[in-house]
Amino acid sequence: MWGGRFSEPPSEALWRFTVDHSDRRLLQDDIAGSLAHVAMLGEVGILGGDDVEAISNGLRSIGTEAAGGTFEFTDSDEDVHSAVERRLFELIGEPAGRLHTGRSRNDQIALDIRLYLRRTLRERTHDLVALASLTADLSDRVGDMVVPAYTHLQQAQPIPLGRHLMAYGWMALRDAGRFADLGGRLDVSPLGAGAVAGSGLPITPAITAAKLGFSRTFDNSIDAVGSRDLVAEYAFCCAQAMTHLSRLAEDVVLWSTSEFGWVTLDDSYSTGSSALPQKKNPDIAELARGKSAAVAADVATLLGIQKGTPLAYNRDLQEDKRAVFHADDTLAGALPALGGMLDTAQFHPPEPADETVALDVAEALVVRGVPFREAHEAIGRLVSSLQDVGLGDATAEQLAAAHPLLTPADGLTVGESARRRPSVAEEASRLRSACEALAA
Ligand code: ARG
């Protein structure tokens, strides 16, 4: 492909160090880009009809091989682009040499990665919306189960379990929205930017952009081939989503302990111990938590390969694919595993501690005109004096001793406290509408 200038073949060490097979998954995107490119070359009169037809037919045959899994890469293929061109030569001979007219692998790879991410972005958006909507369903399923909401991992206030679950749903929905927003920025075709400053031939980027379903073409050829911010942003979208999943995973790990006893995971979503017969482990959750670290590192990789590279294309940028594919693959694997784990789990949380209604009792005094600080102090003293007795079991004397305006009628159950908060059923319906709006 570039042998003309060289008098010796590449050394084995160079080849092994520089060739990266991870771009092979761009095969179909590369073919799609080449089909659009050759059609454009024909439309503007750079190539004759016979060449366009021969090249297009050859590319389509390669596409069939790729789809059938019979396309063979060889050791001499430097990357996916050279593999396709090599195969095209094998299939159609001389006209294959005209395909790369007015194009460079630099705008080609910038295009391929966009085509690829545009597709996976839709899948990830869909998967995240599905998880968000699952939390709304789970909320309905767990009905009026009440759990403590925590701060500092200390029981804080009673809440419906559905609210805790849907907190993760809203996070997943924002993660989905982040992918969708990125879709708008990715919707720009870089094809036609060439190596860095385009071509003197009358190539027409708008034609290839339209054929490939992009709304716009690049404004600056240097930016088009030299930038990887959108790839980094894609990895960030994955990393933030994985980080949310990691927090969810940590909650599930805690909830499934015998100490918490909130949840029993289904056998089909749990793992066993080779040594301890009684064990049932939440490995999906642990791995989601563990794998999120490497996805965060992918973002650092993608920022790192950009930061010191002078404009425009540098081979450093080849490293973007390994990082972003790893980020996306990890998220793509985690979402159905965690989703299935939640969907099949049995929830049976114990009631929150009685004293989690302390704020409600203090607020009963506030309603009677007591300053909040005074009420806070009185209920704090009451809770500490009760020791083994719950707030609900405090006697009239104990209440009156804490504050003269307190009466047994101020005691309320954790369930009553949770029901004073906004309706969880309404929240589930709002979450579902938001999911539908994003999916549309
Ligand atoms: N394999 C390269 C990459 O992934 C494609 C672009 C190569 N361009 C070049 N001038 N070597 O970034």
Choice among 15-29, 288-302, 353-367 with the minimum mean pLDDT: 353-367
Per the DSSP assignment, residues forming a β-bridge with 150 are 155
Choice among 160-164, 299-303, 357-361 with the minimum mean pLDDT: 357-361
DSSP strand pairing (188-189 vs 216-217): parallel
Binding site membership of 251 for ligand 1 (Cβ less than 6 Å): no
Closest Cα to atom 12 of ligand 1: 318
Q: Are residues 56 and 115 in the same domain?
A: no
Q: Are residues 141 and 55 in the same domain?
A: no
| 273 included as an active-site residue | yes
Q: Are residues 257 and 304 in the same domain?
A: yes
Nearest-angstrom CA–CA distance, 208 and 41? 9
- pLDDT(131) > 90: yes
Q: Look at residues 316, 347, 378 and tell me which one is the last residue of a structural domain.
A: 347
Q: Give me 114's structure tokens.
A: 């966009």
The confidence score (pLDDT) of residue 385 equals: 87
- pLDDT(393) > 90: no
Q: Are residues 79 and 133 in the same domain?
A: no
Radius of gyration of the chain, Cα coordinates, nearest whole angstrom? 30
Q: Which atom of ligand 1 is nearest to the CA of 318?
A: 12
Q: How far apart, in Å, are the Cα atoms of 107 and each of 202, 313, 316, 341, 406?
A: 16, 9, 15, 42, 74
Q: Which atom of ligand 1 is nearest to the CA of 80?
A: 1
- pLDDT(388) > 80: no
Which residues have C-beta within 8 Å of that of residue 364, sequence separation ≥ 6? 406, 410
More confident residue, 178 or 280: 178
DSSP assigned state of 141 = H
Q: Look at residues 98, 119, 144 and tell me which one is the last residue of a structural domain.
A: 98
The confidence score (pLDDT) of residue 5 equals: 86
Q: Are residues 359 and 313 in the same domain?
A: no
Q: Which atom of ligand 1 is nearest to the CA of 23?
A: 4
Confidence of residue 374 (pLDDT cuts 50, 70, 90): very high
CATH of the domain at 414: 1.10.40.30
Q: State whether residue 156 is helix, strand or coil.
A: strand
Binding site membership of 318 for ligand 1 (Cβ less than 6 Å): yes
Please give the full DSSP string across 292-324, using - where no structure is assigned.
HHHHHHHHHHHHHHHHTPPSS--GGGGGHHHHH
More confident residue, 250 or 4: 250
Binding site membership of 320 for ligand 1 (Cβ less than 6 Å): no
The confidence score (pLDDT) of residue 415 equals: 87
CATH of the domain at 242: 1.20.200.10
- pLDDT(293) > 80: yes
Q: Which atom of ligand 1 is nearest to the CA of 20?
A: 1
Binding site membership of 108 for ligand 1 (Cβ less than 6 Å): no
Helix (H) or strand (E) holding 188: strand 188-189
Q: Are residues 21 and 54 in the same domain?
A: yes
Range of 368's domain?
Answer: 354-419
Query: Contact 41/54 with Cβ under 8 angstroms?
Result: no
Q: Are residues 21 and 93 in the same domain?
A: yes
- The single residue of 76, 215, 273, 423 carrying the catalytic annotation is 273
Q: Are residues 130 and 248 in the same domain?
A: yes
In tens, the pLDDT along 235-288 reads 999 999 999 999 999 999 999 999 999 999 999 999 888 888 888 899 999 999
Measured in Å, residue 403 CA sits from the centre of ligand 1 at: 76
Query: Contact 344/268 with Cβ under 8 angstroms?
Result: yes
Confidence of residue 201 (pLDDT cuts 50, 70, 90): very high
Q: What is the mean pLDDT of the chain?
A: 95
- The single residue of 152, 258, 268, 384 carrying the catalytic annotation is 152
Q: State whether residue 145 is helix, strand or coil.
A: coil
Choice among 279-293, 307-321, 336-350, 408-422 with the minimum mean pLDDT: 408-422
Per the DSSP assignment, residues forming a β-bridge with 160 are 146
Choice among 11-15, 202-206, 278-282, 368-372 with the minimum mean pLDDT: 278-282
Query: Contact 139/429 with Cβ under 8 angstroms?
Result: no
- Is 304 among the domain residues? yes
Q: Look at residues 82, 98, 114 and tell me which one is the last residue of a structural domain.
A: 98
In tens, the pLDDT along 402-415 reads 999 998 887 778 88
In tens, the pLDDT along 67-121 reads 999 999 999 999 999 999 999 999 999 999 999 999 999 999 999 999 999 999 9
CATH of the domain at 23: 1.10.275.10
CA trace torsion 272, 277, 280, 283 (10° rounding): -30
- pLDDT(154) > 90: yes
Backbone angles phi, psi at 156, to 5 degrees: -115, -65
Q: Are residues 327 and 229 in the same domain?
A: yes
pTM for the structure as a whole: 0.95
Q: Are residues 335 and 385 in the same domain?
A: no
Measured in Å, residue 153 CA sits from the centre of ligand 1 at: 50
Q: Are residues 119 and 137 in the same domain?
A: yes
Q: How far apart, in Å, are the Cα atoms of 190 and each of 79, 134, 217, 384?
A: 19, 38, 6, 67
Domain count, the chain: 3
| 152 included as an active-site residue | yes
Closest Cα to atom 3 of ligand 1: 318
